[in-house]
Chain A
Amino acid sequence: MIFMEEKISFIKDGLRLDGRRPDELRPIKIEVGVLARADGSCYVEMGKNRVIAAVYGPREVHPRHLQEVTRAIVRYRYNMASFSVEERRRPGPDRRSYELSKVGREALEPVILTSYYPRSVIDVFVEILQADAGTRTAGINAASVALADAGIPMRGLISSCAAGKVGGEIVLDPMKEEDNFGDADMPIAMTPSGEITLLQMDGGLTIDEFHEAMELAKSGCRQIYEVQRKVLIERYSQLEGERGEQAEVTACD
């Protein structure tokens, strides 16, 4: 079985299985303000990933002992819907989603000015509705736009994207097949000025490959940043735009 998989070539005539070039992102769609009762919200599609993020707060901290006297705390919950993958996933948190909640929070917290809101909490909920490799990056992108939508002071929007190694070549934004059968996957998140707030890797890369993957992932983040920014700006540019109406931008060059 495994030998059969090995025979499939991931890159044919310079194109990948889904017809992308190695340095091409999957199509992105972002909508802002999709939830009426949340303070900020955002829906993101990156390829076949579908993610919704909601931000509540700053608000009172419950339970009280988590409260910090000098700053706001940030809570980030990454959750996969039971129907988000092919085989039904047991609902509820597991080892993986605890990890992704932690790294997601740590990717966003450095840009949030938590000292503006002492003794409060900023809650971020990220729900994965459909997964196709790269849900943590899609979740972080959605959460970052939702935070801006909630009016939370930040030093910049966070954009996140992965690079991987498939069939000996470094590719941007691996999809499920490439992630499952590839040699390495490296998600990163960064600010518009290029500061990295998330860096993970599984699989193996040489130092040169690592640098190549890093540059590729950074260029992916910059492309995503442009979409995030455009969506936010266009939302209020339509003059008579009603509140709650969705600005929609599809970016696939």
Chain B
Amino acid sequence: MDRIERTIVVPGDILSEDEKRSGEGTYVKDGRVFSLLYGLANYRDNRINVIPLAGKYVPAPGDHIIGIVKDITFSNWIVDISSPYDGLLHISEFPKRIDMEEMSRYLRIGSSLMARVKDVDCTMKVELTVNDRRLGPIKNGRLIEISHTRVPRLIGKGGSMIGMLKKELNCNIFVGQNGRIWVSGNEDDMDLAIKTILIIEKEAHTNGLTDRIVEFLGGEKGSRS
């Protein structure tokens, strides 16, 4: 399938003698590129990126995430985004006008929501927004959590994996960059979807995964009908 060279590296491994190839998860010292992380080194194009195998989610502007409300203040919902930092959702970011007294009618403590990271400043104050038709409180379906480092694999190159899953599983799936995933569909489909996603999480570091998942889904469906 894809013929990208992937190797497992540990922090401090030399990746290249050419400092221009330094990508994400690397650093340059004395004109040479070293790995910063324990993860998979991708030798793609003329850049080398290291994708970590573990680690905490750090929010970046534009990320779509799934959060859980953990507190409500005068005008903000404080949202747990499974990161070292909390997200802040201001009422003005809600698509319609809400009175301060009525905040908990829309999002209570414990409610889940899909949101976009609007801004992150250098002290890691994370501002969220739900001002988009696709975003907002989650009312049905199921939520699962995987390591955020597996999200790129779950989405696949240009959305190949997630597109296939949505089609094959007959489910609506929203993947948050922070590793939380919302699945909605009928009960049996959701069961299979969650099972599949957990397999992808476990085998994210292996090659030819999309093909194997297609095979797996074929088998599961065959046994069901």
Closest-CB distance, A224 to chain B (whole angstroms): 13
B interface majority secondary structure: loop
Contact partner of B12 among A57, A69, A157, CB < 8 A?
A157
CA distance A197 to B13 in the complex (A): 18
Interface assignment of B143: CB less than 8 Å from any CB of chain A: no
For A156, what are the chain B residues with a Cβ–Cβ distance below 8 Å? 11-12, 34
Instruction: Return B60 CB to nearest CB of chain A, in Å.
Output: 12
Q: Does B90 contact A (CB under 8 A)?
A: no
Decide if A5 is an interface residue (CB 8 Å cutoff): no
Residues of chain A with a CB closer than 8 A to B123's CB? 69, 118-119
Q: Which of B11, B12, B38, B56 contacts A39 (CB 8 A)?
A: B56
Interface residue from B13, B36, B54, B56 paired with A58 (Cβ < 8 Å): B56
B55 touches A148 (CB 8 A): no
Residue of A57, A119, A239 near B56 (CB, 8 A) is A57
What distance in Å separates the Cβ of B210 from its nearest Cβ neighbour in chain A?
A: 16
Task: Give A118 Cβ to nearest chain B Cβ, in Å.
Answer: 5
Interfacial chain B residues near A229, Cβ < 8 Å: 10, 13
B interface residues, tally (CB under 8 Å): 29
Q: How many pairs of residues, A versus B, come closer than 8 Å at their CB atoms?
A: 89
Query: Contacts of A232 on B, CB cut-off 8 Å?
Result: 8, 10, 38
User: Within the assembled complex, what's the spacing in Å between the Cα atoms of A156 and B8?
Assistant: 15
Majority secondary structure, A binding face: loop
Residues of chain B at the chain A interface (Cβ within 8 Å): 8, 10-13, 25, 27, 29, 34, 36-39, 52-56, 58, 84-85, 122-124, 149, 202-203, 205-206
Interfacial residues, chain A to chain B (CB-CB below 8 A): 39-40, 57-60, 69-70, 111, 113, 116-120, 148-157, 191-193, 228-229, 232-233, 236-237, 239-240, 242-243
Q: A120-B84, A148-B38 are in contact. List 20 more A-B contacts (CB 8 A).
A: A39-B54, A39-B56, A60-B84, A60-B85, A70-B122, A111-B12, A113-B36, A117-B58, A149-B38, A150-B54, A151-B56, A152-B55, A153-B36, A156-B34, A157-B11, A232-B8, A232-B10, A236-B53, A236-B205, A243-B202
